[in-house]
């Protein structure tokens, strides 16, 4: 009984410590840094930007994806969009060909092979990327139109910066209790906790999309682990 009581108090202590730590991160993450880069001068010096999008049996998502990629507020002639699909995914290929994309968009069909995973597709696209910066989107994403410009501004402000994680905003399809709490968890994780970890210089487990990389740093880190189902978190730790 005494041992169970001690274990109970120890577990409670750990829970309270984690709770205090999370509250501390949430408070610290609320502090914002003001960037001094002049937006007008930045626009004149923008480099090419590669956008990697891996799709697998996602023909239905292609129209809204094309719409949001066209809406990006970045010079279209500097965009290097790579749409990555698996061999045999004809439905997605046809849906892609039916849409209008920025002028330098390229449909890349991966050669047959294993594993048939998103990180393998991203590595294939990275090997053909031309941009100084690289970002990753998913087919269902609706990126903020100014996201690429904001990331380029952050990279220009800090030449040693390897990666920028844009905040992911959960948009629940229903108003259920679980859906609302899922959206709240995303808001806290990407709006408070991750900025706090960055401010403290601690490793960050990246989200699976809206990551922006300096291509040289991404290549130096070895890209994504094709066999890792949490390749985003893994890459964030390796970059740190």
Query: What tokens appear for 128 in the block?
Result: 């053909």
**Which pLDDT score, from 0 to 100, does residue 176 have?**
81
Confidence of residue 11 (pLDDT cuts 50, 70, 90): confident
SS3 40: helix
Nearest-5° angle of CA 208, CA 213, CA 216? 135
Confidence of residue 192 (pLDDT cuts 50, 70, 90): confident
| Most confident among 24-28, 149-153, 180-184 (mean pLDDT) | 149-153
Backbone angles phi, psi at 103, to 5 degrees: -60, -35
Confidence of residue 198 (pLDDT cuts 50, 70, 90): confident
Task: Determine which of 71-80, 189-198, 212-221 has the lowest per-residue pLDDT on average.
Answer: 189-198
**Which pLDDT score, from 0 to 100, does residue 73 have?**
94
**Which pLDDT score, from 0 to 100, does residue 25 have?**
60
CA distances from 172 to 63, 68, 185, 232, 233 (A): 20, 19, 12, 23, 23
As a whole number of angstroms, the distance between CA 184 and CA 77 comes to 37
Query: What tokens appear for 226 in the block?
Result: 């094709």
Contact indicator for 59, 94 with CB cutoff of 8 Å: yes
Query: What tokens appear for 98 in the block?
Result: 């039916």
Confidence of residue 204 (pLDDT cuts 50, 70, 90): confident
Neighbours of 81 (CB within 10 A): 23
For residue 168, how far is the Cα from the chain centroid?
A: 8
**Taking all residues of the chain, what is their mean pLDDT, rounded to a whole number?**
88
Query: What tokens appear for 53 in the block?
Result: 């999008």
Select the more confidently predicted residue: 44 or 236: 236
Confidence of residue 150 (pLDDT cuts 50, 70, 90): very high
Contact indicator for 193, 82 with CB cutoff of 8 Å: no
N-term to C-term CA, the chain? 44
Average pLDDT value for residue range 131-142: 96
SS3 103: coil
Helix H or strand E segment including 67: helix 62-70
Tokens 């309270």 correspond to: 16
As a whole number of angstroms, the distance between CA 76 and CA 48 comes to 9
Confidence of residue 226 (pLDDT cuts 50, 70, 90): very high
Helix H or strand E segment including 212: strand 211-214
Average pLDDT value for residue range 206-220: 95
Confidence of residue 104 (pLDDT cuts 50, 70, 90): very high
Contact indicator for 133, 49 with CB cutoff of 8 Å: yes
- pLDDT over 90 (residue 87): yes
pLDDT tens track for 12-56: 777 777 777 666 666 666 666 555 455 555 555 799 999 999 999
């Amino acid at each position: 009984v005494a041992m169970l009581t001690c274990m109970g108090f120890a577990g409670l202590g750990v829970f309270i410590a984690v709770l205090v730590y999370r509250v501390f991160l949430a408070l610290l993450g609320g502090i914002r840094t003001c960037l001094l880069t002049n937006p007008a001068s930045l626009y004149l010096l923008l480099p090419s930007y590669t956008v990697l999008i891996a799709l697998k049996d996602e023909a239905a998502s292609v129209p809204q994806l094309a719409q949001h990629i066209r809406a990006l507020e970045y010079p279209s002639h500097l965009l290097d969009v790579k749409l990555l699909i698996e061999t045999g995914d004809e439905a997605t290929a046809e849906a892609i060909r039916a849409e209008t994309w920025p002028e330098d968009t390229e449909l890349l069909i991966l050669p047959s092979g294993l594993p048939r995973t998103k990180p393998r597709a991203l590595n294939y696209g990275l090997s053909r990327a031309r941009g100084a910066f690289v970002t990753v989107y998913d087919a269902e994403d609706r990126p903020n139109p100014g996201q690429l410009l904001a990331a380029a501004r952050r990279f220009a402000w800090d030449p040693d910066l390897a990666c920028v994680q844009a905040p992911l905003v959960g948009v629940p399809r229903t108003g259920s209790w679980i859906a609302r709490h899922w959206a709240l968890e995303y808001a806290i994780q990407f709006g408070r906790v991750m900025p706090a970890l960055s401010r403290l210089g601690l490793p960050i487990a990246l989200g699976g999309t809206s990551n922006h990389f300096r291509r040289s740093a991404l290549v130096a880190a070895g890209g994504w682990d094709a066999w890792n189902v949490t390749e985003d978190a893994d890459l964030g730790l390796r970059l740190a």
